[in-house]
Amino acid sequence: MPQIAAELGAEERVIGDFEGKLPGRLVSASENEWKFRQYLRSRGRAVVHRTQYPVIDMIPSGFPKVVTLHDMWTERPDVRALGAFRSGFKRRAMEGSDAIVCVSDNTFNDLREHWPKLAGKAVVIKHGVRSISAYPVPAPYDHPYFLYVGAREERKNFAILIEAFRACDRFGDVKLVCVGGGAFNEAEQALIAGANLAGAIVQRRANDDELAGLYESAVALLYPSRFEGFGMPLLEAMLHGCPVVSSPLTCLPEIGGAAALYCDADDPQDWAAAMMRLIDDEGARAQCVVLGRQRAAEFTWDDAAAKYLKLYAGVV
């Protein structure tokens, strides 16, 4: 939402602070909600657009409310029990809203499937993408590498990439550089060591300048996720001239379009073959770069901002 606020020329104001761990997180959330309520009362009528779901809603009556729905992961049958707490906040926020923004067609379809009564007040407004850095830092790797960006929880399907690297003995000095998600946990370390890939699969942190440089020099971004609400790393990679190899699940084909290569989320050989193709065939890789830049250009914050303005005008 900072990008949307910038496009609309909106004032940026921080209200309250945040404690990252329970129970402090719940306490600070409630305190911040009260501060936000007081702020709204002081400024008069406004549209309240929430991008997360409050523990307690203290918005005064008379303020139209818009809620962003990022995904319906916690409503899936296989995770519903674990996600029931968060799902309850999510549904209550949407039931009390005047409009719901889904960030992809896939998310809208999930909403219609799980909570059909709420779909009637939902619209789809996709994110835009901008360059994450004007000053990319050159990647510190002398050999070819693939890039993985983000968390590595179960739904991200990271383990398939370890299997893919193990399945191909032609990778040689090729690395898999994992950015974000924290250090490898014990299970990941065991999988990597068991595949004899301790030197080939590495994890690191990176700021935006460093990540931009990593995108620009990588053979490709690998994105094997089983479930996403949008998939921003696909567009970031494409914008920075990095080919994308993705799973064909949930919203990812909707975002990647014909510019991405798609591999079976359960077939490491399929991933290994796509990776080797991009290493061996510079023409194919170059074509992915061209198509990727064209695809990323279709997602702009200007377009998103115009749609948000129209939505806000409709709920006032």
Burial of 222 (0-12, 13-18, 19+ CB in 10 A): buried
| Token reading at 35 | 């501060």
Q: pLDDT, tens digit, for every residue of 156-181?
A: 999 999 999 998 877 788 999 999 99
CA dist 158 → 12, 91, 166 (Å): 37, 30, 13
Could you write out the DSSP letters of every residue in 173-194?
T-EEEEESS-S--HHHHHHHHH
HSE toward the beta carbon, residue 145, CA cutoff 13 A: 24
C-beta separation of 148 from 176 below 8 A: yes
Q: pLDDT, tens digit, for every residue of 249-266?
A: 999 999 999 999 999 999
Among 132, 138, 191, 200, CA closest to 168: 200
Q: pLDDT, tens digit, for every residue of 95-106?
A: 999 999 999 999
Residues 104-109, mean pLDDT to the nearest whole number: 98
Residues 149-157, mean pLDDT to the nearest whole number: 96
Q: What domains are defined for the chain?
A: 2-128+300-315 (3.40.50.2000), 145-296 (3.40.50.2000)
Name the one residue in this structure whose structure tokens are 């995770």. 79
Could you write out the DSSP letters of every residue in 27-79?
HHHHHHHHHHHHHHHHH-S--EEESS--SS--PPTT--EEEEE---GGGSTTT
Nearest-angstrom CA–CA distance, 74 and 81: 8
- Given a cut of 60, whether residue 307 has pLDDT beyond it is yes
Which are the contacts of 44, defined by CB distance < 8 A and separation ≥ 6? none
Residues 123-148, mean pLDDT to the nearest whole number: 96
